[in-house]
Homo-oligomer: A and B are copies of this chain.
Amino acid sequence: MTSGARGPRGPYRTGIKTREQIVVAAAKAFGEKGYRAASLRQIAADVGLSPAALLRHFESKEDLLAAVLNWWEAETAHRENPDLQGLRAIDQLRMSMAYHLEHRGLLELFITLTAEATNPEHPARDFVRRRYAQVVRTKTDQLLQAVQTGEIPPLTEAEAESDIRALLAVMDGLELQWLLDPNMDLVGTFDRYLDHAMTCWRAGTRPIL
């Protein structure tokens, strides 16, 4: 019975490992070439498979994209500490920035897919839109939390969302600048920006409004 149970487990485990290898290779290809331009044939070759063998793991390119997006979300999601509140929760964006600096491939994937997804027909559009809206919502709530606990003077919800949108825009824009010119001081520039935003929020002067 033991050996009978083990029998399928070996190949099953191999299957999971192959699947993971394909997803990592696809993430690299999508980040470097874009989803549309990346070829399944090349991704298969990158992990030593034939295209037909790859299609036994993923039905289609779109199916593979969904797996890459899930993988990307899992890779990036664990980094936020849900116990932090208010400005300290927002301050965690510095960590994200440092993480991106260490994981250029993930950042390139994010920027490339986001830009592609500006096309209404792109298959990653719903995912990217949903995720962006989620981040805006979470960070806006954290800023409003800082108001509720008296950590900072009042802000309307619209003001809070506007500030958070500008803050996230600065992150994306600076990351784009850094991908184009690695000599640029990504972490330092963002740190100074966030320091200033924090100072303004605490002082009740609008940093971005």
Contact = CB atoms under 8 A, between A and B. Distances in A.
Interface of A: 32-34, 36-37, 108, 111-112, 114-119, 121, 125, 128-129, 132-133, 162, 165-166, 168-174, 176-177, 179-181, 184, 189, 192-193, 195-196, 206-209
Given A112-B115, A112-B118, A118-B108, A192 B180 contact: no
Given A189-B166, A209-B192, A176 B181 contact: no
Nearest to A136: B177
A165 B189 contact: yes
Nearest to A36: B37
A184 to B, nearest CB: 7
Given A34-B116, A132-B180, 11 more contacts: A32-B119, A34-B36, A112-B118, A114-B115, A115-B115, A115-B176, A132-B181, A165-B174, A169-B174, A170-B173, A172-B172
A97 B88 CA distance: 33
A114 B179 CA distance: 10
A39 to B, nearest CB: 10
Contacts of A184: 165
A136 B30 CA distance: 29
Contact of A119 (B108, B128, B129, B189): B108
B193 A166 contact: yes
A128 to B, nearest CB: 6
A118 B169 contact: no
13 contacts: A32-B121, A33-B36, A34-B34, A36-B36, A37-B37, A108-B119, A118-B176, A162-B189, A165-B174, A169-B173, A172-B173, A192-B209, A196-B208
Nearest to A158: B185
Contacts of A129: 180-181
A112 B116 contact: yes
A197 B162 CA distance: 15
A208 B189 CA distance: 8
